[in-house]
Chains A and B, each alone.
Chain A
Amino acid sequence: MERLEVSKLNHHFGFTEVLNNINFTLEQGQVLSVVGPSGGGKTTLLHLCAGLLDVEEGRVENSFVSSSFAFQDARLLPWKNVIDNISLGLLANGWDKTVATKKSQEIALKFGPEADDFDKFPKDLSGGMRQRVSFARALAVRPSLLFLDEPFSALDIGLKQESQTILIDMISKKSITILFITHDIMEAIKLSDKVLLLEADPGHIVKEFSFELPQKQRDDKFVYEQTAKILQDKTIINTFELRPIGAKL
């Protein structure tokens, strides 16, 4: 069984403590999201889990065979066209160039870019399109564990929904495990089995919410109801420093 286990994780940047005593386990096929205010150490946590930062204190044990990362910004290579960007991960895994190109074209079509866009450079793409190419690049390698760092935050609601539907499809087939970072609580409720609430200064987990209903069966009503319920939660109100509308600042 593949799993990601994080225990007693602390992290510092210089003298600033960014993360304090983080513990959680992500099992195969699960979707775990971490929500919290901006600047709360979410991205640092994700980088530590993905091995992009070195763990200083505590343990991160990752037994997933493969993983990939979709960043908050697209991070496409400006000197490569759409297809060559998508095939980057495949080529790194030792795929043959022609096969990788063909596979990337198939994947591209699924995520939005059309045949006309294949030869375009990132500078000629819209922000949303770049983000989708980056998303396609991350999924092209068929990772068993996917790290998502708010990859939908730059998309409009239609595109956001489209990308979420693709993910929900993969989730319901149990073909992917996701560690997901967002500040959008509705998005977290729509996609996750478990939501961890991360409070800032230093980042620590204050609360955990679980959702049993399979993602495919979660309709708008479910999402809105759960969101409304969670937004009443005292811990959430304090963490995001929410004030009732009309209240004096």
Chain B
Amino acid sequence: MKFTVKLLKDFPQYLWSGWGAIASILLFVATWDIGHQIYGSLVLPSPLETFGTLGAMLGDPAVIDDINTTLYRAFLGFFISLTLGSVLGLLAGFFATASMMSRPIVTILMGMPPIAWIVLAMIWFGMSDETVIFTVVVASFPIIFVGALQGTRTLDGELKQMADSFKLPYRMKFFDIYFPHIFSYLFPAWVSGLGMSWKIVIMAELLASNDGLGAGLAVARSHLDTPTALAIVSIMIGSLMFIEYIVLEPIKREVELWRD
């Protein structure tokens, strides 16, 4: 409760600190417009044209449906990997053998290109929701798993000893000693996992689905409709930036105040 109040209290100040970021984005848009003036509309539509298309698309219920489908897939996949990755990572971290054995498997999962997973998933699940969600899970799971694993493996033995010397009850040991440490590893892993889900969902949809933003992108490609393609990209980037900078970053700042 106290945390939420502090979060809301510091929020306006955080937003105000965003002018630099906005200036940088506007500069980027300006460079984009220069590119448009050099190469013309077919290769690179102007920002104005793109945002115009974007506005028109957002008024279309079919597009809104696509956005919702993509959001649903990305979040479902993300939550599955969040739950699985956190729980399994914590468990593996508590047992030396399990963490030793899981390392190579994680390397295999991380090293396997997502595109290969998509192909496999298409064979296993066909052109369906499952294919996309499966790919999202398989791509973001290892990131979260490793975060949880690292968090548990790096618990400080000296602090544990200190806790023992004060005879801290189990509940306090968990909430005051273990949890803050593990969370400081887990939370950034969740953030990267979410970013990964967002990128993978589009790729999987583009190749293995008939609806969603990724499929829209595939259609735009086949029609050589650059403004629509760019508008879809803008939706993706805009929503990612919103989640990352407006939702997650303020939380991250508050929970990591104690860090150097």
Q: Which residues of A contact B (CB under 8 A)?
A: 47, 50-52, 68-69, 71, 73, 75, 77-80, 88-89, 91-92, 121-123, 141, 147
Contact = CB atoms under 8 A, between A and B. Distances in A.
Tell me what chain B mostly uses at the interface: helix, strand, loop, or mixed.
helix
Contact of B162 (A75, A78, A121, A123): A75
Contacts, number: 49
27 contacts: A50-B165, A51-B164, A52-B164, A52-B165, A69-B166, A71-B158, A71-B162, A71-B165, A73-B158, A75-B158, A75-B159, A77-B159, A78-B258, A78-B259, A79-B181, A80-B258, A88-B166, A88-B168, A88-B176, A89-B166, A91-B172, A92-B168, A92-B172, A123-B258, A123-B260, A141-B166, A147-B165
Interface string B144-159: 0000000000000011
B61 to A, nearest CB: 47
A80 B165 contact: no
Contacts of A91: 172
Of B164, B166, B168, B259, chain A has the most CB atoms within 10 Å of the CB of: B166
Interface of B: 158-159, 161-162, 164-169, 172, 176-177, 180-181, 184, 257-260
A80 B164 contact: no
B165 A69 contact: yes
A140 to B, nearest CB: 10
B152 to A, nearest CB: 16
B176 A121 contact: no
Closest 5 CB pairs of A and B: A69-B165, A79-B180, A121-B258, A75-B162, A79-B258
A52 B166 CA distance: 10
B186 to A, nearest CB: 14
Contacts of A77: 159, 176-177, 180
Given A79-B184, A121-B257, 10 more contacts: A47-B161, A52-B165, A75-B162, A78-B258, A78-B259, A79-B181, A79-B258, A92-B169, A123-B260, A141-B166
B54 to A, nearest CB: 42
Among A50, A68, A79, A141, residue most surrounded by chain B Cβ atoms (within 10 Å): A79
Nearest to A70: B165
Contacts of B260: 123
Contacts of B159: 75, 77
A123 B259 contact: yes
A73 B157 CA distance: 13
A88 to B, nearest CB: 6
A104 B186 CA distance: 31
B258 to A, nearest CB: 4
Contacts of A80: 176, 258
A147 B164 CA distance: 13
Nearest to A134: B162
B64 to A, nearest CB: 42
A235 to B, nearest CB: 32
Best-surrounded residue of B158, B176, B259 (most CB of chain A within 10 A): B176
Nearest to B179: A79
B167 A92 contact: yes
A164 B169 CA distance: 31
B258 A52 contact: no
A30 B234 CA distance: 74
A92 B164 contact: no
Nearest to A73: B158
A75 B164 CA distance: 12
B121 to A, nearest CB: 40
A226 B252 CA distance: 57
A202 to B, nearest CB: 22
A196 B159 CA distance: 29
A206 B176 CA distance: 42
A89 B259 CA distance: 23
